[in-house]
Amino acid sequence: MTRLLGVIGHPVAHSLSPAMHAAALRALRVDGVYTAIDVPPAFLRPVVRALMLAGVEGLNVTVPLKERALHLADQLDPAARAIGAVNTLVIRRGKLLGYNTDAEGFRRALIEDTGADLRGGRVLLLGAGGAARAAAWALAGMGVQTLWIMNRTRPRAQSLARWVVRAAPRRAGRRLECVVVPYAGRRAAAGLLAQADAVINATSLGMRAGDPSPIRLKGVRRGTVVYDLIYHRETALVREARRRGCVAATGASMLLYQGAESLRLWLRRPPPTGAMRHALQQALWGQAPGGMTTGR
Ligand code: NAP
C-alpha cells in the first residue's frame, strides 16, 4: 500500500521538505508520497485526526504549528518535551507520537559540516526564538561549557538562559554556564568573539536577500566555527566568516538532517542522506543560486 507522509504548516507552499523526501522515497524504492498541506492553526486538531483516519503515517510540523502540535501528541520524546515543540509526528497503531528532530539535526549538521568538537567550549548564540531553543539544547548536550546568549529582546534571552540551564541534558554531570550578553547589533562584540569557539546564528536575519549580518565578526579567531541556521542562501555572516578564516556553514545541513531523522522515525530504516542532500541542493538552487554550502 502507498505510504502517506507530509508536512503541515501555515503557509507551507515554500517548504523544501517535499522535494527532499520525495527523493528519499525514490532512493529507498518505497511506494509513498510526501506532500505539503496548509493547515491554519485553528484547524490543526481536526485536520490531523482526519489525516490519521486517511492512513497518513507521518508528518513534519513547521511554523506556526510546532508548539501547538505538542498538545496533540499521545506521547512525546524527551527532546520534544524539553524544547516544548514537535516537528515530527509519527502515527503508529492509532497513536500520535511527537518528536523533535531539530536539535539532533543541528547537532549532526554542526559536526558533519564543520567538524566541531565543542566539549568544554565557549559558544556565542545569537537569537532566542524556537530555533535558538533547539540549538541551545543540542549545544548543552554536546558538552559546551559556556553559552553566551545575545538577543535583540533581552527578556527573551534571559528566559532562554534560565530554561536551558534547567532543562538541558548534562554531560558527565558538568553544569552549563549560561550568560546573557548585551545585544551588540552591528557593533563588534570583539571581546567575546576573541574567546568564542563557535558562533551560531539562530535569528531570522539573513532570510531575506540583502539582510545585514546579525553581528560583525571583528576580533574572531581564525578557525572559529560559524554556523548560520539560515538555509536560504549564503548569508552575509557566512561570507564574512569565510573571509576571516573561520569554518562556516549555512543551515541547509540542519534542514537535511532533521528531515533525515524524521524519515528514520517513520520508516525505521537508515535515511538516504546523499539523495536527500542532492534534492535539497537542487531545490535551493531553484530558489536562490548558491544555496547549499558547507564548511569543509
Ligand atoms: P522566531 O522564534 O521568530 O525567532 C526569531 C529570532 O530572530 C528572535 O531571536 C528575534 O529577536 C530575532 N530577530 C528577528 N529579526 C531580527 C532583527 N531584525 N534583528 C535582530 N534580531 C532579529 O524564529 P525561529 O523559529 O527561532 O527561526 C529563526 C531562524 O532560524 C529562521 O530564519 C528560520 O528559517 C531558521 N531555522 C532554520 C532551521 C534549519 O533547519 N536550518 C530550522 C529552524 C529554524 P527578538 O526576540 O528580539 O524578536
What pLDDT, in 10s, does the model give residues 191-213? 899 999 999 999 999 999 889 99
C-alpha cell at 207: 532570510
* Parent domain of 137: 104-250
Domain count, the chain: 2
Residue 271 within any structural domain of the chain: yes
For all residues of the chain together, what is the average pLDDT? 93
C-alpha cell at 89: 509526528
Residue-level pLDDT at 171: 63
Residue-level pLDDT at 169: 72
Residue-level pLDDT at 92: 96
Q: In what order do the strands lie in the sheet with 122-126?
A: 177-180, 146-150, 122-126, 198-201, 225-228, 247-250
Percent of the chain's residues with pLDDT above 70 = 94
Residue 142 within any structural domain of the chain: yes
One domain, residues 21 and 124: no
Residue 134 CA: which ligand 1 atom is closest? 43
Contact 226, 211 (CB under 8 A): no
One domain, residues 18 and 151: no
Residue-level pLDDT at 188: 56
Alpha-carbon span 71 to 54, nearest angstrom: 21
Bridge partners (DSSP) listed for residue 8: 37, 61
Residue 294 within any structural domain of the chain: no
One domain, residues 109 and 246: yes
Model pTM? 0.93
One domain, residues 50 and 14: yes
Q: Does residue 66 carry a catalytic annotation?
A: yes
| 31: confidence class by pLDDT, cuts 50, 70, 90 | very high
Residue 292 within any structural domain of the chain: no
Q: Which residues line ligand 1 (CB under 6 A)?
A: 102, 127-132, 151-153, 156, 202-205, 207, 214, 229-231, 251, 254-255, 258
| CATH number for 173 | 3.40.50.720
One domain, residues 155 and 280: no
Residue-level pLDDT at 222: 97
Contact 258, 87 (CB under 8 A): yes
Structure confidence by residue, pLDDT tens digits, 151-188 = 999 999 999 999 999 987 766 567 899 999 998 765 65
One domain, residues 62 and 193: no
Bridge partners (DSSP) listed for residue 226: 199, 248
Query: 124 alpha carbon to ligand 1 midpoint, in Å?
Result: 15
| Residue found by looking up cell 558538552 in the block | 143
Q: How many CA atoms lie within 13 A of 254 on its CB side?
A: 24
How would you class 30 by CB atoms within 10 Å of its CB: exposed for 0-12, middle for 13-18, buried for 19 or more?
middle
One domain, residues 151 and 233: yes
Nearest CA to ligand 1 atom 44: 131
One domain, residues 18 and 126: no
Structure confidence by residue, pLDDT tens digits, 101-159 = 999 999 999 999 999 999 999 999 999 999 999 999 999 999 999 999 999 999 999 99
Contact 198, 118 (CB under 8 A): yes
Alpha-carbon span 119 to 139, nearest angstrom: 9
| CATH number for 15 | 3.40.50.10860
Query: 186 alpha carbon to ligand 1 midpoint, in Å?
Result: 16
Query: 203 alpha carbon to ligand 1 midpoint, in Å?
Result: 3
